[in-house]
Structure 1
Amino acid sequence: MTTRERILHAVLRVIGTDGVAGVTNRRVAREAEVSLGSITYHFATQHELLREAMLLFVAEETARLAAVAEHHLGTPSLAEAAALVEQVALHTRFGHEEIAPLELYIQAGRDPSLRDAAAECFAAYDRIAVTILRGLGLPEPERTAGPVVALLAGMQLRRLATGSTGETSIADAVTMLVRV
């Protein structure tokens, strides 16, 4: 792992622990076990640091999800695809680095300089959803992808906040949405 990546993962851990307000160069340097000067060498501004941390997380997460989709999806039924989505969602752990993007998405609502990065993140998730929906033979997968991603994000947020997915399983929710 490069110094830059260590710094970005440290940013995600700090955000996941204490929110965006907890991100200071000193704290990140300590968490990444790098010199304070390394932070400013690699990142000119706090906005750049936050943006790049968000993009790193999404690049790694979408690569992971794309690999799962590629490995498990040939031409499955809707029920099989929904069950796989639920399995992946329920096995996603909520460590500090996984909580951090949720904080960053909220921060993007306050800080317009992060909105492009947030849009890139959701576009990456949408591309994976389009691939899966197209593989299922659904008409207009590009139109359906956004609502599917929003549903999954909302259900994961609910799971994080309450410890439960609620009465409706993720597989049932995806199936209901896609059949509409």
Structure 2
Amino acid sequence: MSTREAILRATLRVVGEHGVAGLTNRRIVARAGISLGSLTYHFPSQTTLLREAMLLFADEEARRLAELARQHDAAGLTVEQAAEVVADVLGRLPASVEEIAALELYLQAGRDASLRDAARRCFAAYEELAEAVLRALGVPRPRQLAGPVVALLAGLQLRGLATGEAHTTSTAEALTMLVRGGQEHSRDAGDTPGRTRRVHR
């Protein structure tokens, strides 16, 4: 592992354990096992350090999830089966300090505009993957649905991390309802922009 990578991983650990406000050079160098001079040489500003740490986390998550999507892409999954796969993947994720660090960094991006480009790239990676999975499932308008799917999963993960409890509606059930709702909307609208069709029951 390079010194630069060690610094970024140490940063994620410190942010996850102490929050952005608790990110100090002393804690970073102690965690990374490097000198203060090495830290300031590679990252002269904390903003640069936070942005690069955010991108490291996002890139690794995108690669991991893309591999999972590739493994299931040829399986011919139904929406319900795909939702179960997603729920199983999320259920195996530990409430690690790295995950908490990512949430801390997203919140910090709300305060620091210089981090927002990195945050947008993070969410764009998740949404690109969600769109690819939805398209493979044959879900209508996957691009429009990708954002809500990512928001749903992120919200459920945040709730679980914050409360330590599972929601009464499972991740698989929530995802299935969201996707099925998008399909029903598409059928009702006749898949034609601007066209509204009355449905008699």
Q: TM-score, normalised by structure 1?
A: 0.97
Structure 2: distance between partners of 1:165 and 1:140: 30
Identify unmatched segments of 5+ residues in structure 2.
Answer: 182-201
Ranges of 4+ aligned residues in structure 1 off by more than 6 Å: none
The yes-or-no answer on 1:81 pairing with 2:76 is no
Superposition pairs of residues 90-129 of structure 1, within 5 angstroms? 90-129=91-130
Structure-1 residue corresponding to 2:199: none
1:70-107 CA distances to partner (integer Å, 9 max, x unpaired)?
11232211011000100111111111112100000011
Structure-1 residue corresponding to 2:64: 64
Preserved contact between residue 148 and residue 177 of structure 1 (Cα < 8 Å): yes
The yes-or-no answer on 1:154 pairing with 2:155 is yes
Deviation at 1:39, TM superposition (A): 1.0
Deviation at 1:26, TM superposition (A): 1.9
Structure 2: distance between partners of 1:89 and 1:3: 31
Structure 2: distance between partners of 1:169 and 1:73: 23
Structure 2: distance between partners of 1:91 and 1:38: 36
Structure 2: distance between partners of 1:19 and 1:169: 29
Preserved contact between residue 73 and residue 81 of structure 1 (Cα < 8 Å): no
Q: Which has the larger radius of gyration?
A: 2
The yes-or-no answer on 1:165 pairing with 2:166 is yes
Structure 1: distance between partners of 2:163 and 2:123: 23
Task: Choose 9-18 or 92-101, whichever is displaced more.
Answer: 92-101
Structure 2: distance between partners of 1:165 and 1:110: 30
Q: TM-score, normalised by structure 2?
A: 0.87
Structure 2: distance between partners of 1:131 and 1:165: 27
Between the aligned residues of both structures, percent identity stands at 59
Structure-1 residue corresponding to 2:55: 55
Structure 1: distance between partners of 2:142 and 2:171: 19
Amino acid at match of 1:68: L
1:39-92 CA distances to partner (integer Å, 9 max, x unpaired)?
111112100000000000010111111111111232211011000100111111
Tell me how many residue pairs correspond in the alignment.
180
The yes-or-no answer on 1:3 pairing with 2:11 is no
Amino acid at match of 1:42: H
Superposition pairs of residues 19-58 of structure 1, within 5 angstroms? 19-58=19-58
Preserved contact between residue 156 and residue 165 of structure 1 (Cα < 8 Å): no
RMSD over equivalenced CA pairs, Å: 0.8
**Higher RCO, 1 vs 2 (CA within 8 Å, ≥6 residues apart):** 1
Structure-2 residue corresponding to 1:143: 144
Structure 1: distance between partners of 2:56 and 2:121: 11
Deviation at 1:21, TM superposition (A): 0.9
